[in-house]
Structure 1
Amino acid sequence: MTVMRKFFFVLSILMLSLLVYSCTEKDNPQYELSKVKIQLVYPEGYNTSEGVEVSLKNTSTGAVFTEKSSSEGTALFEVPKGIYEASASEQRVVDAEVYLFNGVNSNVNASAENVEAVINLDLSKGGSVVIKELYVGGCPKDDGSGYFARDQYVILYNNSSATLDISDFALAMVNPYNSQSTNNDYVDGELFYASQGWIPAGNGLWYFENNVKLEPGKQIVIAICGAVDNTKTYSQSINYANSEYYCCYDIEDYNLTSYYPTPSELIPTEHYLKVYSYGLGKAWPLSNSSPAFYIVRPQGTTLKDFVDNPENENMYGSNQVRRKVPVEWVVDGIEVFAKGQSNNQKRLLPTIDAGYVEMTAKMGYTLYRNVDKEATEAIKENEGKLVYNYSLGVEDSTDPSGIDAEASIKNGARIIYKDTNNSTVDFHLRSKASLRN
């Protein structure tokens, strides 16, 4: 074979290889795209809005795509084929009332070239009392032997401009307790209780025994377990020896002393929350990795009568007793997913929390509410008091406002926190519990 023939032979082989490679790439489903049209459907009596952010999250890869809605309430995407979760949130302010529209479609099958799907938006009102912070993940032990997680707390905050009576509030959590656990409440891909207008409360409900009022811009700290100075044993834990703090402590119903040691003598006994317990075990099993936690305010009845009414009972499995809390009773809630888990599933309904916030446990991290930058900066008295360049976010989770809320509060500022009923927007993972500042 001559040199010239060899050259053309090699060239032919190369061209054939390139052709085969190109065909393979083109035929690979990874590179096939689907045009997806999402239609936002508003409750009756409400018009569509232009510019609402709509998100598509690939349930396999975690990739997120966002687009803005048109004046007709549609958002157009071109994404790799796959199964997606579509979500949207909108906030409207009318005559000083905050209206929140949230919706999720957890099964958008973008396997065809052209796909259409809808997001049904549910309406709720912005709350005055919000969950400012939820610390549940625990912290490393000083000797490196593991972690300590029996030092959980929640902070409730008055986000309004009026003093509020929260004496009839109660603390609740959904069972299944972990987001990554098998969830038998899903029927045909939907939470069965969504159509029935209630949310499950697992194990028991904590309540105040005495009158509690919360002034504007003030907070109440509630130690959920371990209401002592834990820093004497674990330096990265929480010191609850504070006369202003409250705690969950009802030794008659929950008597596991590793969870409920005798509270610090500095915490007044009238600050003890009591529990209506109806579940298994000797402690309230709030997840340290991925709880669905919420605040309840009964309407038209007392909490005790609600708990005692057998019509409000629901069984999860054969022996796990729950209560059916009406959705309209929920003041605020937070859905937490275990970071790095592929099988997380939502438990709270979109009217309570249309999103979720991811958490890494055992590191001393906390879930902290983001600042409403526009509302906070609009307060004239905050001029010169706000501290910026916030730096306590973890990895890609941070407060997009850039305002350091705790530093600003210490500087005399009044903070207004984000409240869209969507934890993806409202919360971030903070590297240190605020009570350790």
Structure 2
Amino acid sequence: MLAPVNPDATLAEGETLGARFARIRATTEQLTRTLTPEDQVIQTMPDVSPTKWHLAHVTWFFEEFVLKPHLPGYEAYDPAFGFLFNSYYNGVGSMHPRPQRGLLSRPGIEQIRAYRRHVDDAVNALLARNPTPEVAALVLLGTHHEQQHQELLLTDIKHVLSVNPLRPQFQAPEPDDGPAAPSLRFLAGGGGLVTVGHGGEGFYFDNETPRHRVFLEPHAIANRPVTNGEYREFIRDGGYQRPELWLSDGWSTVRERDWERPLYWEVDLDSVFTLGGVLALDPDAPVCHVSYYEADAFARWAGARLPLEAELEIAAETVAIEGNLQQSGRFHPARGRGEGMIQIWGDVWEWSASPYTAYPGFRPPPGAVGEYNGKFMCNQLILRGGSCVTPADHLRPTYRNFFYPDARWQFSGIRLARDSQTTEGA
């Protein structure tokens, strides 16, 4: 990750860096308000981290990269926490294995909350000293890092609650009784030489740079994501039993893991587990929790393809960042409404056909804080647009999310594309 060039450029109007720090930290705490201490210690698979680990890790980030180097006389709250709550930052030391985070019964949740208060007090003291631009940039970076973990916290606790046979609710559900989703249409996208990537003003992560040119063939992109009802037709048409629809690795994964439907769908294909418990499957809401393999297979079945990340970036540039995002409090995809390109922000992360690789001229920044993104540029695919658990002020058109092609526990969905400028209905 990369600190912003101009940290003040991405603060909300009238919001100071200290106020943003307090707001982000308070939001994280608010997201855990319905959880019991027992909820917060469970790890259901290697990709899932316990809630209390997220709470501690984002706090360790501020302690390690902001306080230790920049607050004279600061001493670590507990030296052992550097080992327990480091994630991937090899430049600052070793770490507890990720698949074993759920084995840490101690420190307990109350001690971790005391750790958060201790670090918050120290950061606030540092900010009160009229910090240098470097310190301000690191604090802003830490808040965006914490917003990433807010999203992960919700994603992970959904998986934790889903394996409980009581199927408990994280929060009360919000029914969507609005109009049906608009008909699927393909809208002409811009072709030719286009410029993508972050231009260097305001906040960004290093993998969004440098800005560069790419050539796009004439294409069209769907006006909205694929719905549950459309994906259910794919299932009923034997989609999970037809090898000709699947990439070789995808077909092997389907057989090895006995996939028959998206993650969290019930066997009846009429209900789904959500953070509001088990609900009736809404055929007009975007399909969610599908892997890249499933997204690609559906696109083939539909006579389309997945969009390139540059196609999605260009499509998102002129659309305001608003919609069903974390701030809505729904934490579940909603029906699309409106005309033109809709739901390109929020609801579901949209798989692209683009591999996660470096942009031309990319160089990872030096130091431990810059080591994160570059070393993962292999064997993963790009997703764009954010989801129903992504904070709105964390997103921008150049934001690149990335996951392995078999990942399904994220709020990931599908938007189709075609290789022509056809705008007829699908």
Q: Which structure features the higher share of strand residues?
A: 1
Q: Normalising by the residue count of structure 2, what TM-score does the alignment of the two structures yield?
A: 0.27
Q: Normalising by the residue count of structure 1, what TM-score does the alignment of the two structures yield?
A: 0.26
Q: Which structure features the higher share of helix residues?
A: 2
Higher relative contact order (CA 8 A, sep 6+): 2
Larger radius of gyration: 1
